[in-house]
Structure 1
Amino acid sequence: MKQILRELRTEMGLTQADLATRLGVSRQAVIALETDKHSPSLDLAYKISGVFDRPVEEIFENPYRPSQS
């Protein structure tokens, strides 16, 4: 799943631990999200959206959306 979580985090000057604290998850969970080893639950995706004040669709690519050619 294409995502820009790492870029947003570093732009805000947050460490993985800082973001984890804001989201109420472990640092390992943030690492797994940033390396595409784990996809966020809908609840977690909305929390991430809130932290960065951006729509979910801007942070995470919908893998089920048909490509527009």
Structure 2
Amino acid sequence: MPEPEFTVKTVACPACNGPSIYAPSNIYRPFCSERCKNLDLGAWASERFKLPEQTPNIDPDFEQI
């Protein structure tokens, strides 16, 4: 029985925007390389991807004690 043919999909690497093969053969997917994967991990670890704090709605006419 012949093996099914797979089309290779190429996507933009989230770190460098270069081409990245999105297939089981690329162990770093969706990244193009180990370097890009580690750069992204480092950005998360250093909280560069942190969401901004929401400022509370402060009513200027409300007096706080």
TM-score, normalised via structure 2 length: 0.22
More strand by share: 2
Which structure shows the higher helix fraction?
1
Larger Rg: 2
Higher relative contact order (CA 8 A, sep 6+): 1
The normalised TM-score by structure 1 is 0.21
